[in-house]
């Protein structure tokens, strides 16, 4: 199983990190060892001083495919979940500056938090109008809507599958909206997809 993450998929988030808005999806991988599930606590690693939350819609691939045409891409996922792409921003900034790959900042243990549930796509009246949000200690810090994605689910699947075969169970984190920020010890994170609470855990 692999975890594919899309970077810079919301205009306002690209701008808040002073990145250009891309003309094709930017993607990177996390290993399965980075998964954080079951509302387990997230432990800030001792080698970073700045871990950011990035709340993202997650789709789960349900069949094998490569070079998938955009018009058929909706057949390759039937469920949507919510997760956090934890990012050691200080480390990432250093790697970016030196033109190095991002794994140290993105692929570490627990860096891919995943909600407890996946919701069938049929439950959403419009796939391009799905609301989600993150609260920390009860305050909303990030709010997103799938309609604001630069590349929608089908475009992402089609693009990524040109380069790597998608397999059943693969997860795609589809990018974060604006409002990313640091977590600190003791923070209480709760994520919502529409009205449903998808995860609820603490930072330690
Ligand atoms: Zn992200």
Domain CATH for 114: 3.90.850.10
pLDDT per residue as tens digits for the range 126-180: 999 999 999 999 999 999 999 999 999 999 999 999 999 999 999 999 999 999 9
Q: Look at residue 195 and tell me if it is in a domain.
A: no
d(CA 54, ligand 1 centre) in Å: 5
The parent domain of residue 115 ranges over 3-129+145-184
- If one counts the domains in the chain, the total is 1
Ligand 1 ion local residues (Cβ < 5 A): 54, 85, 176
- CA angle 109-1-135, nearest 5°? 50
Does the structure show a pLDDT above 90 at 93?
Answer: yes
pTM for this entry: 0.97
């Amino acid at each position: 199983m692999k975890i594919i993450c899309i970077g810079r998929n919301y205009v306002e988030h690209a701008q808040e990190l002073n990145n250009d808005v891309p003309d094709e999806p930017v993607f990177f991988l996390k290993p399965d060892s980075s998964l954080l599930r079951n509302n387990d606590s997230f432990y800030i690693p001792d080698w970073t001083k700045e871990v950011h939350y990035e709340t993202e819609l997650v789709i789960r691939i349900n069949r094998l495919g490569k070079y998938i045409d955009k018009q058929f891409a909706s057949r390759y996922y039937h469920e949507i979940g919510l997760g956090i792409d934890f990012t050691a921003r200080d480390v990432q900034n250093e790697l970016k500056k030196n033109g190095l790959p991002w794994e140290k900042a993105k692929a570490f243990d627990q860096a891919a938090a995943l909600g407890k549930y996946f919701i069938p796509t049929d439950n959403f009246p419009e796939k391009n109008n799905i609301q989600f949000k993150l609260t920390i200690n009860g305050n909303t810090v990030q709010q997103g809507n799938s309609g604001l994605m630069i590349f929608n689910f089908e475009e992402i699947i089609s693009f990524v599958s040109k380069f790597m075969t998608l397999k059943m169970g693969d997860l795609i984190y589809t990018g974060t909206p604006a409002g990313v920020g640091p977590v600190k010890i003791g923070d209480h994170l709760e994520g919502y997809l529409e009205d449903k609470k998808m995860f609820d855990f603490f930072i330690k």
